[in-house]
Amino acid sequence: MKPFALTAIVAVLFHTPAWSAEAPPLDSIKAVAGGYAKQLKSGLLAQMSKNGPEGGIVACSATAAQLGAETSAQTGWSIKRVSSKARNPLAMPDAYEQEVLNGFEKELARGKEDASRYEVVREGGVRYARFMKAIRIEPLCLTCHGGNEVPSNVVQKLSEKYPHDIARGYQVGDLRGALSVKVKLD
């Protein structure tokens, strides 16, 4: 085979047109999602130890929004938290996310510690790589997402800022929601 022909075949096999990008490797997605989750949690802990639960309320909202915007600027991906019992209405899941959350709920009920999913989906003729990872309730979260554990001053603050809040009444281990990363491929 002439070198030219080989080059042509390699080019055909590996050429990726600009309109059809490959899905990013799962490891890269996990690294970005992991970094986001870690920074969010350390921001929450720092704010709570400095300014109590009221500082934490700011951290769980402002920090999340800021981190999401920064991560999107760096990667071009959308990254956010979603929940079927959302406190912030912007965190309501889309149809795909709701279906995956239902699946996670079942996996955790069967005793799995963690749940995640990564796949390429087509929506309205456009391909997206979508990654989701379950977020579970830990003791720390009960101050603002628990039942009777939520102190009355926090209940008051939350009701003022989120009049339609339904993100309470959770117990440790419950599925709180998921981290959702969406990458446009086409």
Binding site for ligand HEC (CB under 6 A): 44, 48, 53, 56-57, 60-61, 64, 81, 83, 86-88, 91, 135, 137-138, 140-141, 143-145, 167, 176-177
Hey, which residues does 134 pair with through a beta bridge? 178
Token look-up 């899941």 returns 93
Cβ distance to ligand HEC smaller for residue 135 or 181: 135
Cβ distance to ligand HEC smaller for residue 127 or 162: 162
Q: Which helix (H) or strand (E) holds 130?
A: strand 126-136
Encoding tokens for residue 173? 């281990």
CB of 103 within 8 A of CB of 115? Answer: yes
C-alpha span between 144 and 47 (Å, rounded):
14
C-alpha span between 171 and 10 (Å, rounded):
55
For 32, phi and psi rounded to 5 degrees? -70, -45
Cβ distance to ligand HEC smaller for residue 23 or 108: 108
Q: What is the nearest approach in angstroms of ligand HEC to the Cβ of residue 7?
A: 50
Q: What is the nearest approach in angstroms of ligand HEC to the Cβ of residue 144?
A: 3
Cβ distance to ligand HEC smaller for residue 57 or 132: 57
Q: What is the nearest approach in angstroms of ligand HEC to the Cβ of residue 88?
A: 3
Q: What is the nearest approach in angstroms of ligand HEC to the Cβ of residue 159?
A: 11
